[in-house]
Amino acid sequence: MTLDALTFDNRFTNQLPADPIAVNSRRQVQKACYSRVLPTEVAAPELVAYSREVAAMLGLDEATCRSSEFADIFAGNKVLPGMDPFAMCYGGHQFGNWAGQLGDGRAINLGEARNAGNEHWTLQLKGAGPTPYSRTADGLAVLRSSVREFLCSEAMHHLGVPTTRALSLILSGEKVRRDMFYDGNPQLEPGAIVCRVAKSFTRFGNFQIFAARQDIETLRTLVDFTIRNDFPHLIDNNTHANDEPVANEIVFHWFREVCTKTAEMIVHWQRVGFVHGVMNTDNMSILGLTIDYGPYGWLEDYNPDWTPNTTDASGRRYRFGNQPTVAHWNLYQLANAIVQLTEEPGPLEDSLQLYADTFNKGYFSMMAAKLGLSGFVPETDEPLINDLLKTLQLTETDMTIFFRNLKNVPANASDADGETLLEPLKEAYYKPGELAGDTLKATIDWLKRYSQRLASNELSDQQRGTLMDSVNPKYVLRNYMAQLAIDKAEQGDHSMVNALLDLLRHPYDEQPEHEETFFAKRPEWARERAGCSMLSCSS
């Protein structure tokens, strides 16, 4: 299919109230869900990479994706017939504080494409220029953050984590000024645009802004639209005409689904060691998708207190171990907005409890699978899991390598010597010399308990290994790997971006040709380097 054959069915702009002001100027936008705005034209669009899977989902072939027209469209230089570009209005809590109107400050939705399967996919450009919601910023993005967004969107999908997708990464041919370290020394960096793809980019903050402004009419309109279009299975169209408000009972069912989907997403984050870094309510998807890849990171050593965000370094609100709690807090803020419609807090409170129950059940089931257990037995397995996580913190232990290699610890070998039990895991330790004394004893004691637990497992060693390999990835987008790709891309060499994209398509496969290079602990040079340890929101 050619680009001109893309079919657009722009429900968001056709069914929701628009900003009546056509001028693209920074302002407070009232009683509107979006503002129409065109992307800013750039000097010299150049394709860096594209996702063939997302392209196929949209019906686009390789020749089309490598064409100059593709680069023009997804850099923002050309608007196809049927596109209706807009930026969404929303608010949000940032680091626990209400921030008022935020909105798509550097994201422009080109439109909703309908594919051959009649699925709606919103195409959104990140870094395509200013919008009414840009505040004091320029609406642009630089190559380093765009590489990270593009690669992580696709890596998370192939890991099985609910996420927005990325179609393309395109250089703008222009320079963008950024103060990466917030130290008063801005630098000119290559500009870039990512085309993000999702069934919906609606966030918790889309509802919060209208509740905060007491604009109940627009809030009602947006809630009804969201349920009818993104959760249509909740609606019986025979009894609910399109012009009738959705009943409170359906709103409550909708919020229950949002809570459940969010819990499931967080379980996946904890499974693979992903840390979002900026879990503000405006960065929470109503569909339970991972959205807005800013200063995210992957746990290298297992440290539940680690955050990748320099802005969060003192409070560590968004640290790895706190993500389940923050998600619950964010859902509570969404409930505070919805209750203004329903005026019935009880069912919303029940759904918040459902989030906690769903997460806890999902978390321990997931951890049991990471340990290769056929099922979770609370009496034995909860203390086994909790003690493991404490043991991993006694010395710097690579989370990915540890869990991937744990399958090689033999079952029913609790009488084996410590060296035998520890041997499969040795490459996971950053400082082997620290594996001594009480730390060594605690580690071996846990391994003996684990081996003894495996003796009562209902899975054979082969079945256990297959299960563990399906939930414990061998390859994740480690921070230093992304930075190496950025370093090369900034010099005009895009090969590593595409090489990592290919590697991360199969994160659970052995891929022996990549094992020595990428199934390895973080190198020492990356321990403190910016982009490899912590990142700012500057992009």
Of the candidates 510, 475, 405, 372, the one whose C-alpha atom is nearest the C-alpha of residue 158 is: 475
Of the candidates 166, 191, 200, the one whose C-alpha atom is nearest the C-alpha of residue 40 is: 191
Tell me the H-state helices in 343-436: 345-370, 378-392, 399-405, 418-422
Q: Is the pLDDT of residue 332 over 80?
A: yes
Q: Which has more confidence, 416 or 109?
A: 109
Note whether 119 and 199 are within 8 A (CB): yes
Could you tell me how far CA 410 lies from the centroid of its own chain?
35
Task: Name the pTM for this structure.
Answer: 0.97
Residue 242 confidence (pLDDT): 64
Q: Is the pLDDT of residue 538 over 70?
A: no
Residue 312 confidence (pLDDT): 94
How many CA atoms does the CB half-sphere of 76 hold within 13 Å? Answer: 34
Q: Region 220-226: what's the mean pLDDT? A: 98
Catalytic center residues:
282
Residue 415 confidence (pLDDT): 79
Please give the share of the chain, as a percent, with pLDDT higher than 90: 91
Q: What's the pLDDT band for 2 if we cut at 50, 70, 90?
A: confident
How many CA atoms does the CB half-sphere of 144 hold within 13 Å? Answer: 24
Residue identified by tokens 């969060």 is: 312
What are phi and psi for residue 17, nearest 5 degrees? -70, 135
Note whether 158 and 504 are within 8 A (CB): yes
Sign of the C-alpha dihedral, residues 306, 309, 315, 316? negative
pLDDT by residue (tens digit) across 12-60?
999 999 999 999 999 999 999 999 999 999 999 999 999 999 999 999 9
Q: Is the pLDDT of residue 282 over 70?
A: yes
Q: Is the pLDDT of residue 244 over 90?
A: no
How far is 248 from 462, CA to CA, in rounded Å?
50
Q: Say which range, 258-262, 366-370, 414-418, 486-490, has the weakest mean pLDDT.
A: 414-418
Note whether 24 and 87 are within 8 A (CB): no
Contacts of 110 (CB under 8 A, 6+ apart): 39, 73, 79, 80, 83, 85, 123, 124, 125
How far is 191 from 210, CA to CA, in rounded Å?
34
Q: Is the pLDDT of residue 101 over 90?
A: yes
| Ramachandran region, residue 82 (left: φ > 0; alpha: ψ -120 to 50; beta: rest) | left
Q: Is the pLDDT of residue 236 over 80?
A: no
Q: Which has more confidence, 2 or 301?
A: 301
- Mean pLDDT, the chain, rounded, equals 95
The shares of helix, strand and coil residues in the chain, as percent rounded to the nearest 5, are 45, 15, 40
Tell me the H-state helices in 231-313: 248-272
Torsion of CA 494, 496, 498, 500, to 10 degrees: -150
Q: Region 229-245: what's the mean pLDDT? A: 78
Which pair of structure tokens corresponds to residue 476?
A: 């994740």
Q: Region 446-461: what's the mean pLDDT? A: 94
Residue 330 confidence (pLDDT): 98
Residue 534 confidence (pLDDT): 80
Residue 237 confidence (pLDDT): 60
Q: Is the pLDDT of residue 94 over 90?
A: yes
Residue 180 confidence (pLDDT): 80
Which pair of structure tokens corresponds to residue 121?
A: 């996919």
pLDDT by residue (tens digit) across 150-198?
999 999 999 999 999 999 999 999 999 998 877 788 999 999 999 999 9
Q: Which residues of 311-330 are buried (b: 16+ CB within 10 A; e: fewer)?
A: bbeeeebbbbebbbebbbbb
Q: Is the pLDDT of residue 229 over 60?
A: yes
Q: Say which range, 2-16, 203-217, 348-362, has the weakest mean pLDDT.
A: 2-16
For the chain, the farthest-separated pair of C-alpha atoms sits apart, in whole angstroms, at: 75
How far are the Cα atoms of 15, 235, 364, 486, 502 from residue 268, in angstroms, in the given order? Answer: 34, 29, 12, 26, 22
Residue 183 confidence (pLDDT): 77
Q: Say which range, 7-21, 140-154, 296-310, 524-538, has the weakest mean pLDDT.
A: 524-538
How far is 319 from 60, CA to CA, in rounded Å?
39
Coil, helix or strand at residue 221: helix
How far is 91 from 100, CA to CA, in rounded Å?
5
Annotate 161-217 with DSSP letters as a single string. Answer: --B-EEEEEEEEEEEEEE-TTSSS--EEEEEEEEEEEES---BHHHHHHHHHTT-HH
Residue 277 confidence (pLDDT): 97
Of the candidates 74, 19, 9, 24, the one whose C-alpha atom is nearest the C-alpha of residue 46 is: 74
How far is 133 from 27, CA to CA, in rounded Å?
7
Helices 143-159 and 495-503 cross at an angle (nearest 10°) of 20
Q: What's the pLDDT band for 533 if we cut at 50, 70, 90?
A: confident
Return the bridge partners of 140, or none: 128
Residue 488 confidence (pLDDT): 97
- Domain locations in the chain? 3-205, 223-368, 376-457
| Ramachandran region, residue 343 (left: φ > 0; alpha: ψ -120 to 50; beta: rest) | left
Residue 252 confidence (pLDDT): 98
How many CA atoms does the CB half-sphere of 446 hold within 13 Å? Answer: 21
Q: How many residues does the chain have?
A: 539
